[in-house]
Amino acid sequence: MRKKEMKLVVTFHTTADAMATERVCKSADMPGRLIPVPRTLSAGCGMSWCTDEALEEQLTALLDANQIEREGIFHCEI
């Protein structure tokens, strides 16, 4: 079984915001991937963006620059 590790998880109000995050991160060469919102964070079934914890500042700056609204930022084991 894959070992869980601490990750940065960003949740959004809409799926479209999650998809937009994937687009801007790809164009900025920032690593990460879309994952279902971890069940520990929400009973909803949307998508979230998962990346390295060290990239928090870069990521939030990128989201702000692209006016992508986030619901929350979490550090959790994925």
Partner 1 sequence: MNLSDSKMKLLIAGLGCGVIAAVLAYMGNPANMAFCIACFIRDMAGSLGFHQAAVVQYARPEIIGLVLGAFIISILTGEYRSSGGSAPMIRFILGVIIMIGSLIFLGCPLRMVLRMSAGDLNAWIALIGFAAGAGTGAFALKSGFSLGRAYETKQGSGFVLPAMMVGVLILLVCTPLLKFSESGPGSVHAPIIMSLIGGLLFGMFAQKSRLCFAGGIRDAVLMRNFDLLIPLGGLFAVMLVYNIAMGKFVLAMNTPGIIAHSDSLWNVLGMYTVGFAAVLAGGCPLRQLILAGQGSSDSAVTVLGMFFGAALCHNLGLASSGTAMNAETGELVAGAVTPNGKVACIICIVICFIIAFANKRKQS
The C-alpha angle 45, 49, 52, rounded to 5 degrees, equals 140
DSSP label at residue 43:
S
Q: What is the closest distance, in whole angstroms, from the C-beta atom of residue 4 to partner 1 in the complex? A: 10
Element (H, E) at 65: helix 56-65
Q: What is the closest distance, in whole angstroms, from the C-beta atom of residue 78 to partner 1 in the complex? A: 11
List of residues contacting partner 1 (CB under 8 A): 13-17, 19-20, 33-36, 38-40, 43-45, 47, 66-69
Residue 6 vs 19, nearer CB to partner 1: 19
